[in-house]
Structure 1
Amino acid sequence: MTTTEKQSEKTAPRGSRRRFALAALVALALAAAGIFVRSKDFKELAEATKQGAIPTVAVVTPQPGPAVEEIILPGNVQSFFDARIRARVQGFVRDWKYDIGARVKAGDVLATVEAPELDQQLQQAKGEFSREEAELALAKLTSKRWSALRASTAVSQQSADEKSGDYQAKQAAVEAARANVERLRALTSYLQITAPFAGVVTARNVDIGALVGPDSKTELFSVADIHQVRIYVGVPQAFAASIQPAMTAELKLAQFPARLFTAKVLTTSNAIAENSRSLLVQLVADNPEGLLLPGSYAEVHFKLPGRSGVRRIPASGVFFQRNALAAATVGADGKVTIKPITIVRDLGATIEISSGPSLGDRVILNPLQTLNDGDVVRIVPSQAVAKAGAKE
Structure 2
Amino acid sequence: MIIPIKMHTKYKILSISAALFITGLSLQGCHHADESQEKDTRFQVTDTLLNSLLTDTVKEASAVSQISLTGSIAPDETKMVKIFPLVSGVAQDVNVQLGDVVQKGQTLAIMKSAEMAAFTKDYVSSEADIRNTKRIYESTQDLYKSGLASQKDLEQAQSDYQKAQAEGKRANAVVSINKSNANGYEVKTPLSGYVVEKNLTSNTQVRADNSQNLFTIADLSTVYVLVNVYESDISKIQTGDPVKVTTLSYPDKTFEGKIDRIDNMLDPDNKVMHARIKIVNPGNLLKPGMFANIQIKAKSGETLPEISSSTLVFDNNKNYVIVVDGKAKVHIQPVEVAKTVEDRAYISKGLKPGDRVIASRQVYMYESLKD
Partner of 2:215: 221
**Mapped contact 1:86–1:213 kept (Cα < 8 A):** no
Cα distance in 1 for residues equivalent to 2:171 and 2:113: 16
Counterpart of 2:166, as a letter, is A
Alignment equivalent of 1:70, drawn from 66, 71, 94 = 66
**Mapped contact 1:111–1:192 kept (Cα < 8 A):** yes
Distance verdict in 2 for CA 1:199–1:128, change over 3 Å: closer
User: Alignment partner of 1:308: what SS?
Assistant: strand
Q: How does 1:100-111 map to 2 (within 5 A)?
A: 100-111=98-109
**Mapped contact 1:143–1:160 kept (Cα < 8 A):** no
Displacement of 1:279 in angstroms is 6.2
Counterpart of 2:238, as a letter, is I
* CA shift digits 1:152-178 (9 cap, x unpaired): xxxxxxx72211211221221221231
Q: How does 1:130-149 map to 2 (within 5 A)?
A: 130-149=128-147
**Mapped contact 1:118–1:184 kept (Cα < 8 A):** no
Counterpart of 2:255, as a letter, is T
Partner of 2:11: none
Displacement of 1:268 in angstroms is 2.5
1:172 partnered with 2:162: yes
Cα distance in 1 for residues equivalent to 2:202 and 2:290: 31
Distance verdict in 2 for CA 1:68–1:97, change over 3 Å: same
Bigger drift between 247-256 and 293-302 goes to 247-256
**Mapped contact 2:245–2:292 kept (Cα < 8 A):** yes
1:267 partnered with 2:265: no
**Mapped contact 2:238–2:259 kept (Cα < 8 A):** no
Partner of 1:349: none
Counterpart of 2:212, as a letter, is T
Counterpart of 2:102, as a letter, is V
Partner of 1:325: none
Cα distance in 2 for residues equivalent to 1:184 and 1:198: 24
Displacement of 1:262 in angstroms is 2.4
Partner of 1:89: 87
Cα distance in 2 for residues equivalent to 1:282 and 1:112: 37
**Mapped contact 2:119–2:175 kept (Cα < 8 A):** no
Alignment equivalent of 1:284, drawn from 278, 281, 303 = 278
* CA shift digits 1:68-123 (9 cap, x unpaired): 32212232321233322222222221201111121222222111122233224422
Give the TM-score, by structure 1 length. Answer: 0.52
Displacement of 1:227 in angstroms is 2.5
Distance verdict in 2 for CA 1:180–1:227, change over 3 Å: closer
* CA shift digits 1:174-212 (9 cap, x unpaired): 212312331332143162222332222223221222222
Provide the aligned C-alpha RMSD in A. 3.2
User: Alignment partner of 2:93: what SS?
Assistant: strand
Partner of 1:202: 196
**Mapped contact 2:98–2:195 kept (Cα < 8 A):** yes
| Structure 2: segments with no counterpart, 5+ residues | 1-61, 305-348, 350-371
Cα distance in 2 for residues equivalent to 1:179 and 1:203: 34
**Mapped contact 1:237–1:278 kept (Cα < 8 A):** no
Q: How does 1:286-305 map to 2 (within 5 A)?
A: 286-305=280-299
**Mapped contact 2:266–2:274 kept (Cα < 8 A):** no
**Mapped contact 1:237–1:272 kept (Cα < 8 A):** no
Displacement of 1:218 in angstroms is 2.4
Q: How does 1:29-44 map to 2 (within 5 A)?
A: none
Counterpart of 1:224, as a letter, is A
User: Alignment partner of 1:226: what SS?
Assistant: coil
* CA shift digits 1:20-71 (9 cap, x unpaired): xxxxxxxxxxxxxxxxxxxxxxxxxxxxxxxxxxxxxxxxxxxxxx943221
Distance verdict in 2 for CA 1:239–1:146, change over 3 Å: closer
Distance verdict in 2 for CA 1:123–1:202, change over 3 Å: same
Cα distance in 2 for residues equivalent to 1:244 and 1:217: 35
Counterpart of 1:76, as a letter, is S
Q: How does 1:275-354 map to 2 (within 5 A)?
A: 280-308=274-302
Partner of 1:321: none
Cα distance in 2 for residues equivalent to 1:132 and 1:286: 52
Counterpart of 1:77, as a letter, is I
Cα distance in 2 for residues equivalent to 1:175 and 1:299: 60
**Mapped contact 1:201–1:222 kept (Cα < 8 A):** yes
User: Alignment partner of 2:264: what SS?
Assistant: strand
| Structure 1: segments with no counterpart, 5+ residues | 1-65, 151-158, 311-358, 360-392
Distance verdict in 2 for CA 1:149–1:196, change over 3 Å: closer
Distance verdict in 2 for CA 1:140–1:294, change over 3 Å: same
Displacement of 1:294 in angstroms is 0.9
Displacement of 1:266 in angstroms is 5.2
Cα distance in 2 for residues equivalent to 1:291 and 1:125: 46
Give the TM-score, by structure 2 length. Answer: 0.54
Cα distance in 2 for residues equivalent to 1:129 and 1:196: 28
Cα distance in 2 for residues equivalent to 1:195 and 1:207: 16
Structure whose CA Rg is larger: 1
Determine what percentage of the aligned residue pairs are the same residue: 17
Partner of 2:319: none
Cα distance in 2 for residues equivalent to 1:106 and 1:160: 55
**Mapped contact 1:93–1:111 kept (Cα < 8 A):** yes
Cα distance in 2 for residues equivalent to 1:173 and 1:116: 26
